[in-house]
A = this chain, B = another copy of it.
């Protein structure tokens, strides 16, 4: 099934001896449960367990990897069914799908093509290449399947063999869907993560209103710096009660700060007044990374820092379609100097665990591997976003292993809102890691026993342990 779209040996090295080792390692980890400690699926899916919509609404319109590439070749977002800033969708879903199909060749050599072909072949049993001539066949086949029970969110979750799936929510989110999931009879483990950007980044849309709302939700006096910090503590605790073991911080840079309490108070007052200057916004974000790390020392939450995206680079898109519409571009990051204030303050605290994600590959060997290969609190997140790809993963291992080893990395994150692609994404990661290990075996830099152990560690044990997923974070919770 699906042989024309995905090959049994895909992503393994061409050299036959090395490929044989890769295959052997892969067979051992192929069916291990999926641990997904960082992603962006919608918890409502698992709370409601309603059928997914049509193929365009499910697979095309929400996937910025897809529409950014199509946009780059002159196809408008409107034609693809992407909602505009007012939420209006103009395209007919079938017509949008046809447009996509006719341009699917643009994705040759990209991970998107590989993930989608996996989904098409494995999930929908399709064996034809997607192009203009097969567009309707695809649309009808997928649309029909989505109406079946087996394609409901919970059924897919179980079929995907997901052991745990983390979503990401703002402190302002009531976590109602998580509450419903936990109180349901369904055994799937879906947990939240604490993503405070909207109340930490003074340049975030509606920052002032969000702070006010944070005060209301928590009953803390957010007019003061201490009240604001208490509000975070309060929400972190609530998130932990909904299974969270980690926080997540999406910052343009890796800058941290080490201000005195008095300086913090002044700076907080300044950013609350609105009309903040860019350098004050940056300093506040920087200080908040240090504050979040301090809270992690106290409450044991693993801290994830996603640094380096210049968000919404295309003004016209931002104005007409809003945030997060495929116009984010990575930028240079300086971890060495950026992280130093935080590390000076807390870098040697036992139990602190910070996972660094990165969009600037020039830092892998120069900064990240040396930092993670020294500080006990630092670990390297997997290659992310533009680098969550076969070549990106290969470079990550080549550039970090010799200095940081394998055990300062944390396994794979799918980081996706494309729920159907989760097995495909983990499969790519397993194949690429096994191929890297196979090369080390073939070059007699590891022996086969070591490689076997590493394959299982990278696939399953490292994410489970690093994200503290074997611990019940809420003592009184029912087993999930």
Chain B residues in 8 Å Cβ range of A4 = 447
The segment from A140-148, A367-375, A418-426 found at the interface with B is A367-375
* Chain B CB within 8 A of A401 CB: yes
* Chain B CB within 8 A of A347 CB: yes
Complexed CA–CA distance, A340 and B315 (Å):
9
Complexed CA–CA distance, A453 and B9 (Å):
23
- The answer to whether B444 and A10 have CB atoms under 8 Å apart is yes
- The answer to whether A445 and B11 have CB atoms under 8 Å apart is yes
Chain B residues in 8 Å Cβ range of A440 = 109
- The answer to whether A109 and B406 have CB atoms under 8 Å apart is yes
- The answer to whether A71 and B445 have CB atoms under 8 Å apart is no
User: Residue A111 contacts which of B73, B402, B446, B453 (CB distance < 8 angstroms)?
Assistant: B402
Chain B residues in 8 Å Cβ range of A373 = 68-69, 72
Mark out the residues of chain A between 101 and 138 whose CB falls within 8 Å of any chain B CB in the assembled complex: 105-111, 114
Complexed CA–CA distance, A313 and B334 (Å):
14
Closest residue of B by beta carbon distance from A339: B313
User: Interface 1/0s, chain A 327-360, versus B by CB < 8 A?
Assistant: 1111110101100100110011010000000011
- The answer to whether A336 and B326 have CB atoms under 8 Å apart is no
* Chain B CB within 8 A of A54 CB: no
Mark out the residues of chain A between 54 and 73 whose CB falls within 8 Å of any chain B CB in the assembled complex: 68-69, 71-73
**Contact residues on A (Cβ < 8 Å of other chain), bracket:** 35 or more
User: Residue A372 contacts which of B72, B362, B453 (CB distance < 8 angstroms)?
Assistant: B72
Beyond A110-B401, A391-B402, whether A71 also contacts B314 by CB under 8 A is no
Complexed CA–CA distance, A367 and B309 (Å):
10
User: Residue A375 contacts which of B105, B114, B314 (CB distance < 8 angstroms)?
Assistant: B314
Complexed CA–CA distance, A111 and B7 (Å):
35
Beyond A374-B326, A392-B365, A392-B402, whether A13 also contacts B443 by CB under 8 A is yes
* Chain B CB within 8 A of A469 CB: no
* Chain B CB within 8 A of A398 CB: yes
Interface residues of A (CB under 8 A from B): 4, 6-7, 9-18, 68-69, 71-74, 105-111, 114, 310, 313-317, 326-332, 334, 336-337, 340, 343-344, 347-348, 350, 359-362, 365-367, 369-376, 378, 386-387, 389-392, 398-399, 401-408, 439-440, 442-447, 450, 453-454
A-B pairs with lowest CB-CB distance, top 7: A7-B444, A14-B442, A10-B444, A389-B402, A362-B362, A109-B401, A330-B366
